[in-house]
Amino acid sequence: MQAAVDGELRLLDPEVRACPDRVLELLDPEFTEIGASGRRWDAVSILTVTSGGSVTPESPVRVSEMSGTVLAPGIVHLTYFADNQGRLARRSSLWRLTETGWRVYFHQGTPTA
């Protein structure tokens, strides 16, 4: 489970997000996301956001209430609360173990007050 938590936190790191190759190392080839905006993303489209400077080192995403559950061998479900420059969301990710390591398969963000 710790490998999935570490991967999730790396994806939120502004330095990682700024490097498409580093982001792709953490995304499953079948990755999909339903963002807090309601928009659906895939591995290619999410790179336009992550490498576009939407999160800067001066304003990292703050994470709290991180918890995880092993759903099956090689499958971990993470949930946490994220504060991205005042945009608050409950977040949920499914990570799976692949031949190349742990990768996020699905992610969803739900806005909250």
Domain count, the chain: 1
Which residue has tokens 């608050």? 88
CATH code, domain carrying 93 = 3.10.450.50
* Tens digit of each residue's pLDDT (9 = 90 or more) over 30-77: 999 998 889 999 998 988 877 765 444 556 899 999 999 999 999 999
Q: Which domain covers residue 104, as residue numbers?
A: 2-53+61-111
Find, among 39, 46, 26, the residue nearest to 105 by Cα: 26
pTM over 0.85: yes
Q: What is the 3-state secondary structure (H, E, C) of 30-92?
A: EEEEECCCCCEEEHHHHHHHHCCCCCCCCCCCEEEEEEEEEEECCEEEEEEEEEECCEEEEEE
Q: Is the pLDDT of residue 18 over 50?
A: yes
pLDDT, mean over the chain: 91
